[in-house]
Amino acid sequence: MTNDAHDASSNTPQASCKIGAGPHAAAGPAGKHPAPPCTLVIFGAGGDLTKRLLTPSLYNLTVDGLLDDGMQIIGVNHGERETKAWVDDLGQSLQQFAADKKSKVDDKAWQWLSSRMEYMAGEFEADDVFEALKQRIDKTSHGNAIFYLAVGARFFRPIVERLGKAGLLKEDKEREGNFRRLVIEKPFGTDLASARDLPAHILQFADESQVYRIDHFLGKDTVQSILAVRFANAMFEPIWRREYIDSVQITASETLGVEGRGKFYEQTGAFRDMVPNHLFQLLAMVALEPPNSFDAEAVRDKKAELFAAIEPLKRDDVVFGQYEKGGAGVGYREEPDVARDSITETYAAARVFIDNWRWAGVPFYLRTGKRMTTRRTEIAVQLKRVPFLMFRDTPVEALTPNVFTLRIDPAHGTRFDFNVKVPGPTMQIGAVRSAFNYNDFFEEHANVGYETLLYDCMLGDETLFQRADSIESGWCAVEGVLHPEGGPLPVHGYAAGSSGPAEADALLARDGHAWRSLQDAE
């Protein structure tokens, strides 16, 4: 995450599949420069992640002029295949991606990128594959390499081990700026024990500074802007504390079901999939202490402090749910590759407390679920109610609470709910809403969310990547829910297309709170 200053005009982002002047027509967006040359090795080159996210992101970086002419991409995957067939397949997917966005691929940009792509067939656990990679990378003038593990978690350990044994993770100290980096997709473990075991294994072959644990939520501009909203505006930070804030709600709801990922979901569930990583990352962005700078370690140190202060969750802090057949489609148990008696949760709500001076006593309510009434990712910060005594003679039963909402997806912006006097001769209070939408001020930035993460990895900027100690603290906070005393937590049914199970409403009602309605207009 760069710390460049931009004015409104120079900060205009590029569209996802922009028709433009082609690669390297300019030095890239204002304040940015091309990343250093490197070889990007993608393990899992034939997978969905490479097609849907990595290739469009690399293309967008090409259009923006942010890739060096020395860039090379090697795709490693099972099965023999010609490079041309692999590249053509990715090109067709990119064309479809552009069509879905009502755009068109810049042929010159795609030609520049695709000419630097090479396919290598091989098993992820075969030593000869890594020897061949070493020969290719050693032949480059720069010797820089990034190894992207776009594979299932079961391959993390064997790939890292073979990279290390082949010497591919060793940086050449005699080459100025030489780097070897390792990018790992979640899951970073499935519980506390595995979250400790995986880093211990990786650190046998690489330094922590070489490991980039990627969370695509942090690639969203609207997530990164949380820090700017908090720390670049004097109106927010003075009241961003327990003396003024009543509660915080973090929502990540989806209208889709598991969409053919039944096998994965049966092993994972909504809680493991979303809470210790994505939702905790949003919690960290909204709750961390101000860092001295946006230097990577300054920000990550504050995140680590925050995660370490999360109180361990207990049984009565969490509600699990599973969608059932309703107006919005089939139930979870009717999905392909799902057991007919499955007790896997597709919805999870949690009440989280942070035991530090800023947030002690303030509940953070987290919820995520599939097949819900609305697709929405947002953070709602509710301020404490003002004294009502002076308004006792006005025709209002209660004042509308002030709520500041950071809208992340699909709407991008902020919203503030507050009270004003209704025009007329008497003191009558009415609730109003003020909203800011990014699209009203900036050109729409239709990217896939990986562009910033890939670019930062090439630059060596670790700000948006997770550190091992933070990951361990996150799993530590939820260990009592994953392995609870008294047996597994109950899983409550909710109708597909609804706002979740009634038990989740009761979780907040115990504290005198209620979920923000998912039916409200954006």
The whole-angstrom distance between residue 515's C-alpha and the CA centroid of its chain comes to 23
Per DSSP, what are the bridge partners of residue 148? Answer: 42, 183
State how far the Cα of 410 lies from the Cα of 491, in Å rounded to an integer: 28
User: CA-CA distances (angstroms) from residue 21 to 16, 176, 349, 364, 451?
Assistant: 14, 33, 47, 47, 19
What stretches of 100-187 adopt beta strand conformation (E)?
117-121, 145-149, 180-185
State how far the Cα of 384 lies from the Cα of 478, in Å rounded to an integer: 28
CA neighbor of 63 nearest in space, from 40, 89, 34, 92: 34
Catalytic hit among 142, 278, 412, 513:
278
Per DSSP, what are the bridge partners of residue 421? Answer: 429
**Considering Cα of 473, then 270, then 479, then 504, what sign does the dihedral take?**
positive
- The percent of the chain in helix, strand and coil, each rounded to the nearest 5, is 35, 20, 45
The whole-angstrom distance between residue 23's C-alpha and the CA centroid of its chain comes to 28
Cβ-contact 464, 475 below 8 angstroms: no
State how far the Cα of 294 lies from the Cα of 300, in Å rounded to an integer: 9
How many C-beta neighbours within 10 Å does residue 141 have? 8
Whether residue 78 lies in the annotated active site = no
State how far the Cα of 207 lies from the Cα of 228, in Å rounded to an integer: 31
State how far the Cα of 512 lies from the Cα of 503, in Å rounded to an integer: 14
Q: Hey, is 485 helix, strand or coil? A: coil
In terms of Cβ atoms closer than 10 Å to its own Cβ (0-12, 13-18, 19+), residue 393 is exposed
State how far the Cα of 170 lies from the Cα of 179, in Å rounded to an integer: 8
Any idea which residues carry the catalytic annotation?
A: 278
